[in-house]
Every structure is written in structure tokens, then in C-alpha cells.
Structure 1
Amino acid sequence: MYATPDNAQTLLTHQLRQLHEHPELAAELPPVMLWGAPGVGKSAIVREVAEGEGVGFIDIRLAQREPVDLRGLPVPDRERGVVDWLLAGEWPRDPKSRGILLFDELTAADRSLQVAAYELILDRRLGDLYRLPPGWLVVAAGNRQTDRAVAQTFSSALANRFCHLNLAPDLDVWVRWARGQGLHPDVIAFLRFRPECFFDMEGAVEQGWPSPRSWARVAQSLTYGSQLPDEVQALTVHGLVGEGAGTEFLAFRQWAQKLPDIPAMLAGQAPIVIPERADQRYAFCAGLAHTLWQGVDDVVTDSAATQKRLGRFFAISRELTADFATLCLLDALQGPDEAATQRRTLALLSHPDFTAWSEQHGEVFYQHFSARMGAVGEDATSPEHQEAQAQEDGLNG
């Protein structure tokens, strides 16, 4: 059974909140072990949970440590005839502090390092000198031996202490994240058009191959390397995701660059023209959502200029079929953080033109959000649930 990134975030957030409300459960909650191939975003999931909850985050890469880094440095006390242990300063000391302690790449560490980590993972302490504050959640992450990565076997004692989650790459979750991060729309559009290229370990993995991490880097290279010659950009893409996926993406991008002028359409300075080709429609939708909020203050969305721009967005997307129009609106709702997502959601769903849009495309839109709500579970406090509920209320209103 596989878990999505949303599943993992929901569980970790739940455990953090349990520790906050019931610190006495610190020794009872099972640490979570995230398993997955390189590049699926294991450590990013944990970091985002910590940032979302506003708590501390410490990333321990065991493969880069020595046992003494965990156990401490022995310091002889000749007067008492004993040895004391000088612990590293990175361990949290404040008993009221909260956070996540991540043992990343745990499976890449040899047995001596795993044994050194046992006490902190299993008992939340290091000898009699240190105890992990109850507000800190212990999490680990690593690769499986089938992932063709460096991976040591676990002892049964350590394995039995964890709650194990096997992560599978999820394109829909990644697209929402990528849209919120403002990643290049060409990458988002291509992966929607060719989801088979999102993650693939079947070829040679000694060099570049497609993964959520490598596609994010492709998007960043397009944004920050736009001045590079085309042949250098092509080399970068191939170097990140491999020859097969890279060639397909570059061919897709050639067609995407022949799109109508989306900024002029949104400004009302050009007629609405919808591409005929399916690949160009994916690129058009990604570009439309990406361009919508550029140069617009989404904090003050009730200005006349913003309202007019949103009206043009609805007019353009009404010319699309329901599935593409839904993609546009879903992307347009996504902001870089929860607050921005809520502002954009309110601005779009309260716009006067949304009523006519929902009469035309609302059924397909609602089906997509019902699926998303099912994917994130029934946690009413999650941003995804609140966003979906707001959109459902807008449709029904």
C-alpha cells in the first residue's frame, strides 16, 4: 500500500498537534519512516509540515556523520575517575520547544550509525545526559534497496519501532505545489500532457532521469537561464531528466512557444483565440493561470483593474471545454501559501462572472474537487479541505 505526499503530511501534522496538546504521548507515538525513491520529495514533505506548523526543523544526515556526533564526545574526569559525555549543541534544549527531528538518508547509514541513533529514535534520549523535549516529533526517511540507491538493511528492532509509509510520486500534488511555487508553466503543462514522463526509473539512472525533483530543477533552469543559448538549455534539460523525457519536453516547448498572446488577451488588447492542438491547449491553460496574477496585487483584489482582469480570465476559460477550463481555474486558485490561496479563491469565486462560468463548467469542476477532498481525507483543519469547502460553497451559492 502506497501513501501520497498529502497522506504523509496529514499524518505528520496530526502527530505534531497531538504532541502539542498531549505532551505525555511523546513516548507513545510511533516515529514515521518515509520510504521512497530518490527525488520523490521525502525531506521536502517533512520540512513543509514544520514550516506550515511554525515549528523548528533539524535535518540529520546520518550518512555524513560519525557515531560520536550522536553519542557525544567522551571527556575524562580524572578527579572522579569517570567519563562524561559532551553532547552536540544541535539537539534542542528548551523543554517547551516544538519541532521535527528528521533522520534523513537513514538507510544509507551503516549499522554503526544506525545503532548510535537507536536510543534517540526509540527512547528519545541519549544516556542520562539528554532527553528530547516532548514537543519534538522524530521522523526518518530513506531509500529502498529496489530504488537502485545506497540502502542498508534495517534491524528488526529498529524497523518495529517505526510506522512505515511507502511514498509514491503524485503528479496532482506536485502540480499544486509547483503552481504555488510559481514554477515555469511549460513544465507543468508538459507533465499534464505526458504524465508518463513525471517519474521513470526504468532507464539508466546513473545520469539524469525524470523525478519530481529533477522536473522542479528543469523549471528553475528555464526561469533563471532564459538568456542561455538554446543548445545550452537543451543540454541542461537532457542532463536533468535524461534524453527521452528531455527530447519530448523540448519538442512540446517548441509548440508551446507558438501560443496566442495570453497577456494581451487578459488585458483585453487581443481577441480570444483557443489553440486547436491538445498539447498547445495544455500549455495555453498553464500559461493563462500563470499569467493571471502577474502584475496584480492579490491582497487588494477588489480594485477595478483586478476585477476586470478576472472577468477576462472567465471569458477566456469559458471558450474552453470543461476539462481544460477546470484545469485553468484550479491552477488560478493556487497561491504561494495558504493565505494567498484563500485570497485568490475568494476573489475568483465571488467574482460576478463566476456564476455563468459555473453554470457551464461547474459539474466537472466539482467532480475534480470531490476527488481532491477524498485524497486529502476528512481533516477539516487542513488547508486543502478548507479550500475545497470554500469552492463547493461557491458552486452551490
Structure 2
Amino acid sequence: MIDATPDQALSLLDHQLQLLQSSPGLAEELPPIMLWGPPGVGKSSIVRDLAKRQGVGFLDIRLSQREPVDLRGLPVPDSDRGAVDWLLASEWPRDMASRGILLFDELTAADRSLQVAAYELILDRRLGDLYRLPPGWLVVAAGNRGEDRAVAQTFSSALANRFCHLNLEADLEGWARWASGQGLHPDVIAFLRFRPECFFDMEGGVEQGWPSPRSWTRVAQSLRHGTHLPDSVQALMVHGLVGQGAGTEFLAFRDWALALPDLEAMLAGCGPIEIPERADQRYAFCSGLAHTLWRGSGEGDRQGDVLGKRLGRFFAISERLSSDFATLTLLDAMQGPDEATTQARTQALMGHEAFESWAQRHGRVFSEHLQAQMTAIPTQTDTMPLDEEALDA
């Protein structure tokens, strides 16, 4: 089975969804995508986020929580005709002009009888003669593999042969770009770039908290909403989400990150530019700089003096960084919570007068990074891994 990053899977799903929009007649020809991968890697969130971004319907079917009758419908006897009709659930989309994604999540957790009940809808996009899935709806499935220590049933050859199978792997840089755009806590992003081995690890006990993209996202969200909690309670929360080992490393890293210079004062021009010497603090510095840039900056006023001065100061600071760190910081600063914000931030940064001077110093590494993105499946967040030795040089 071929490995794919979440961004690559997202690109393929987006491509199929766009094909159905322009040519609904292709519905019978496009193979449904089956996303395989360990828990917490983001299989279902990819599909849900795509539906939200495209403004289409989304229907999440958990077969492990269903009975076969939930799919096929209830039998209703018709004594006059001496026959039985089927009463289908109202959740199935009826509008033939509608668009959406039908996700059979945790498909591998369902037993064979439920998988068989789903065959007809997955294979033929229909339920008997009573229901046909509108052509604008994309069929997707997701599930865990047998080695993931999660509930997983085997697939029949008939069902497996219908899908296009993708094995999702955890992608730190793709997640970091997304996390930056979502405004997640910069200490988490910085730590995982410094210690990428802690991003995803199923080697230890997985019956309690363990490191995964999902659990680190929850750490970042919990820190943002739990600033009023005592440090000891925050530590319990971190350990409960990602486990003792990774949690202890992160909290030690965060102690160093809290000793960073005042980034807000730097961006406001009220303090000197101070670049940390330690590698771990430089990671925290870069993530924090990109995160702080847009806070209280008057971002909505693109021509405003406040934003222009902050951007100028941002470039003055990042010019002092090595090219790999400067590129990392600029790419993080470009990210927004949605496509429109990302585009606006990118235009503001690259259109600023100080960008030319920045590009003269760091442009080669920045161009190489963008070129690497273009040779892969193009997505908003796809990035190449950073060279640790080059960063420390």
C-alpha cells in the first residue's frame, strides 16, 4: 500500500470532488478512497475539513455503531400487493443536485455483516431500487490497520478491490503549517520541530495518553484555554494527553521558551532585536515571532501604519536569522485559518518593501523550499523537512 501525507490525500480528495462538480457523470467511474492509518493521524478530520472548506454536505456513517437494517431500511409489508417495501432512513441525501462527502468512518471496526450491508452503497452508489446516491456526492472510507492496536476487521477481496487505498503517515511539517494558521500555541509547534521524534509514537503504552497529531493539537488548545490554571495542573493535562515521556520533555522545553525575549516589544520597535543562541530557543523564537506578528496588528487595515511597521520590524528580525530559520518563520507567518486569510497575509508579506532585502539574503533557500512544494502534490501546507545540521550552522 502506498504511503501518503495528509496533504497529499487531501489534494486527491479535493480533485475528485471538483471532478464531480464539473462532471457529475463521472460518479460511477471515480474509485472511492480508503484512508488507512493509526489513530490520531487525522483521517476523518481531513475529510470533514475538506467538506467545510468547499461548502458541501458531510455525512459521517460509523458502521460499528449501526445495524444492517440502518442501511438497507425497515421492511414494511404491503398486504394488498403481497410484497415488502423498504423504508429508508431520512439521513441519506435526496436532492439529486446536492454535493457532499459520504464518509464511512471506522469501516474496519465494523464486522463482516455490516461491511456487507454497505457494499451496495459503496460499490454501486445505491440501495436496492429505492435509493441512489446523488452524483455530486463523493464516497470515502477510513479505518485502522491491524498493526495499529485498534479494533480492525479484515476486508473482503470484493470490497477491497473497489477502493483506491492510501496509507496515511503522520506529517509534522504539514501539521505545523496548519497549526500555525489556526493560531495554535506556538510552544507546541516549536517543540515538535525541535524534537520531531515526539510528534507520533506508538512504541510505548497506548492505553492512556500517547503522542499523535490529534493529542498534540489538544495540548495546544488546552494551553490556550488554560492559561489561568496552576503550572502543576497544566502539567497534569499535558501528561494526560501525550504521556509521561513526551509530556516531560515538552514541559522542560517550555521552561526555556518562557525565557525568550519580549517578541511583542520587538515587533513594536520598543525593544532590541535579540536572537537566542540555543537551538531549542530558536525554534520557540521563530514560532512565537510568526504567531505574535498578527496579534493586535490592525490586520484588517492592509494599508495601515501599524501593520506596515510591524511587517518591517518582522523582516528586520528575520534577516538576522539563518536562512532555514528565516524561511521557516516566513512560511509560518503566511498561514491563516482559511484560504482567504492565508492569501491576504502572503500578499501583505511579499508585497512589503522590506521583502526585497530579506529575499536577497534568504531568497535561495526560500525558492528551493517553494520549488520542493511544486514538485510534490501541490497543497497550501505541504513543506519539505528542514535540515537539522544546516539550521544549527
Q: How many residues align?
A: 383
Deviation, structure 1 residue 383:
4.7
1:132 matched residue in structure 2: 133
Where do 1:76-155 residues align within 5 Å?
76-155=77-156
Q: Is the 8 A contact 1:348 1:354 kept in 2?
A: yes
2:299 matched residue in structure 1: 298
Deviation, structure 1 residue 326:
1.1
The SS at the match of 2:28 is coil
**Identity score, percent:** 74
The SS at the match of 1:26 is helix
Structure 1 unaligned runs (5+)?
Answer: 388-397
In 2, Cα distance between equivalents of 1:177 and 1:329: 14
C-alpha RMSD of matched pairs (Å)? 1.5
Q: Tell which has more relative contact order, 1 or 2 (C-alpha 8 A, sep 6+).
A: 2
2:203 matched residue in structure 1: 202
> Match for 1:73: what amino acid?
L
Q: Is the 8 A contact 2:298 2:306 kept in 1?
A: no
1:392 matched residue in structure 2: none
1:344 matched residue in structure 2: 345
Deviation, structure 1 residue 24:
1.5
In 2, Cα distance between equivalents of 1:298 and 1:42: 33
In 2, Cα distance between equivalents of 1:22 and 1:346: 33
The SS at the match of 2:10 is helix
2:263 matched residue in structure 1: 262
Q: Is the 8 A contact 1:298 1:340 kept in 2?
A: no
> Match for 2:247: what amino acid?
G
Q: Is the 8 A contact 2:7 2:381 kept in 1?
A: no
1:225 matched residue in structure 2: 226
Deviation, structure 1 residue 368:
1.6
Structure 2 unaligned runs (5+)?
Answer: 384-393
In 1, Cα distance between equivalents of 2:15 and 2:172: 24
Q: Is the 8 A contact 2:146 2:152 kept in 1?
A: yes
1:166 matched residue in structure 2: 167
In 1, Cα distance between equivalents of 2:380 and 2:358: 24
The SS at the match of 1:376 is coil
In 1, Cα distance between equivalents of 2:240 and 2:264: 32
2:68 matched residue in structure 1: 67
Q: Is the 8 A contact 1:6 1:375 kept in 2?
A: no
Deviation, structure 1 residue 51:
1.9
Cα offsets for 1:264-287 (capped at 9, x unmatched): 111111111111111001001110
Q: Is the 8 A contact 1:63 1:105 kept in 2?
A: yes
The SS at the match of 1:138 is strand
The SS at the match of 1:24 is helix
1:181 matched residue in structure 2: 182
1:4 matched residue in structure 2: 5
| 2:328 pairs with 1:327 | yes
Deviation, structure 1 residue 226:
1.1
Deviation, structure 1 residue 373:
2.2
2:29 matched residue in structure 1: 28
Structure 1 range deviating more: 183-192 or 230-239: 230-239
Q: Is the 8 A contact 2:298 2:304 kept in 1?
A: no
Cα offsets for 1:177-226 (capped at 9, x unmatched): 11111100000000000011100111111111100000000001100011
2:391 matched residue in structure 1: none
Deviation, structure 1 residue 372:
2.1
Q: Is the 8 A contact 1:73 1:85 kept in 2?
A: yes
> Match for 2:225: what amino acid?
Y
> Match for 1:18: what amino acid?
L
Deviation, structure 1 residue 299:
3.2
The alignment's TM-score, normalised by the length of structure 1, stands at: 0.94
Deviation, structure 1 residue 14:
1.1
The alignment's TM-score, normalised by the length of structure 2, stands at: 0.95
